């Protein structure tokens, strides 16, 4: 749930990022590349949590819309029966008017019976029509009362979810601004590292390289299909809220990877963790999901202590060591 604590965290991150980007005053030395990288990592962790909240509210909205549509569909047959009952009642009223009144018409039907059996048949038929109409009316009234209550509840839920989405959308520019500042910090860190390497006459270290050597892991079954899908997405850009085909965020990648294997997962790391079977690290097999950052990030295990994941907007879908971030847990779809 999106709350004030999350808002405060993101504001603190934004302030911390801005403070690092601003020119250093005379009393303080410029931050080291390591310090900048630490701030980048912290900022990306905060952004990931916001992204996953955005994905969750989108999923919740879709579920609520589906429930409303289903509720409307459930009322259709009851409405049809009620319309038919009203049509029958209208027909009886018209006939009664034409023949001089409902009671006279009913009496003539009964008295016109040629035998006692016919008499009771006609009385029974009239009673059956009346009971059927009453039952239809009672069923419709009960169903309509339940429908109205459920629809009101769903509409209230929908309104709350739309407000939550609007809040997240409003913060989208702020998040993108934070990411832009992180990118600027990274460029400064790279420049500092290159300058230090040049001074020491050593090759400068590179950051965020997409080193994905070798052929795709050989994995059988559904897990193999999930791994193969994720492997094929390497090099594609991270975009928050995206689930392919050309861009992904972390839970969008794992969702689509397992969709290729015939398994449905939500577009949210926390909801994926709630749905999968939890396992230990020693039980990990290719295709299993690895969760990080208090359920703010997820990747897909490919063996040899490596995952494929969509890390953040500064890089692309790539292979990384499993211990790339603070581990939360492991799950098998």
- Classify strands 247-248 and 237-238 as parallel, antiparallel or unpaired: parallel
Q: Is 278 a catalytic residue?
A: no
Q: Order of strands, edge to edge, in the sheet holding 306-309?
A: 277-279, 327-332, 289-292, 297-303, 306-309, 318-321
Type and span of the H or E element at 292: strand 289-292
Q: CA–CA distance from 12 to each of 40, 125, 128, 231 (Å)?
A: 13, 78, 73, 36
Catalytic residue among 25, 28, 267, 309: 309
Cα–Cα dist 146/151, whole Å:
8
Q: How far apart are the first and last CA of the chain?
A: 24
The tokens 């910090």 sit on which residue? Answer: 185
Q: Is 86 a catalytic residue?
A: no
Cα–Cα dist 273/289, whole Å:
8
Catalytic residue among 86, 250, 267, 278: 250
Catalytic residue among 86, 267, 278, 297: 297
Name the residues annotated as catalytic. Answer: 250, 297, 309
């Amino acid at each position: 749930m999106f709350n004030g604590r999350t808002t405060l965290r993101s504001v603190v991150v934004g302030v911390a990022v801005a403070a690092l980007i601003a020119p250093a005053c005379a009393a303080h030395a410029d931050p080291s590349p390591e310090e900048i990288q630490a701030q980048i990592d912290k900022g990306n962790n905060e952004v990931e949590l916001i992204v996953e909240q955005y994905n969750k509210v989108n999923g919740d909205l879709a579920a609520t819309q589906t429930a409303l549509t289903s509720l409307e569909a459930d009322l259709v047959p009851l409405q049809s029966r009620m319309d038919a009952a009203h049509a029958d009642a209208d027909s009886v009223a018209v006939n009664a008017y034409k023949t001089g009144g409902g009671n006279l018409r009913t009496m003539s039907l009964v008295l016109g019976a040629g035998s006692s059996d016919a008499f009771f048949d006609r009385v029974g038929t009239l009673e059956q029509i009346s009971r059927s109409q009453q039952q239809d009316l009672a069923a419709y009234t009960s169903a309509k009362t339940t429908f109205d209550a459920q629809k009101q509840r769903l509409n209230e839920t929908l309104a709350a979810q739309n407000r939550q989405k609007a809040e997240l959308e409003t913060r989208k520019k702020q998040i993108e601004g934070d990411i832009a500042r992180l990118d600027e910090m990274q460029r400064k860190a790279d420049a500092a590292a290159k300058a230090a390497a040049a001074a020491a006459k050593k090759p400068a270290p590179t950051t965020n390289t997409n080193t994905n050597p070798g052929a795709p892991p050989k994995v059988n079954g559904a897990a193999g299909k999930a791994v193969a899908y994720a492997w094929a997405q390497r090099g594609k850009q991270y975009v928050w809220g995206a689930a392919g085909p050309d861009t992904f965020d972390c839970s969008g990648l794992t969702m689509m990877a397992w969709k290729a294997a015939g398994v449905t997962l939500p577009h949210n790391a926390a909801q994926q963790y709630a749905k999968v079977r939890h396992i230990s690290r020693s039980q990990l097999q290719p295709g299993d999901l690895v969760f990080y950052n208090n359920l703010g990030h997820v990747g897909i295990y490919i063996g040899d202590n490596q995952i494929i994941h969509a890390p953040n907007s500064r890089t692309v879908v790539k292979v990384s060591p499993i211990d790339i971030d603070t581990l939360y847990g492991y799950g098998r779809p």
